[in-house]
Structure 1
Amino acid sequence: MVLEKNARAYATGPTVTYTNIESAPSLSAAHQRHYCDLTGLPGPYTDPKTRLRYHNRELFGVIRSLAQGVPESYLEARGAHTVLK
């Protein structure tokens, strides 16, 4: 009797749950995480001078000691490099 009840439940089709609903990924900026441009760790801070994201105070010192032109290459790798004409 239990087997018959289970068989009838599966005959109606699969149940919809949160994990099997197909949808496109969220492209909202509010849901995107920011990562450190040097290490790949979560980067909650942004250097106002170079616009590079960094993870902690030690990396801030590394960013400030980079040679001229190097921060632009990191921004270009991230896709945030802007060229002013």
Structure 2
Amino acid sequence: MSIDRKTGISHLSFGAGIHTCIGNQLARAELRLAFQTLVRRLEKFAMTRGDDSCHWMENYTAYGPDQLWMTFSVRPH
């Protein structure tokens, strides 16, 4: 017998309660540092497709964009 999950490939979660991922705080800290580094190194962020630049997830368990079309330039040193 095998246990299959139709949405297993697309599922992303840190869980909740006793099923909380023990690495969730590390993952969040790494993302925070990555975004801080990007913001320091890049400038002139602009959405490239007007109102269609951002597409939000249509999922009740997750919140945020799944597509974000932007341009930017590298900050001079």
Structure with the bigger RCO (C-alpha within 8 Å, sep 6+) is: 2
**Hey, which of these two has a bigger chunk of strand by percent?**
2
**Hey, which of these two has a bigger chunk of helix by percent?**
1
Coarse TM-score class (shorter-chain normalised): under 0.3
TM-score when normalising by structure 2: 0.26
TM-score when normalising by structure 1: 0.25
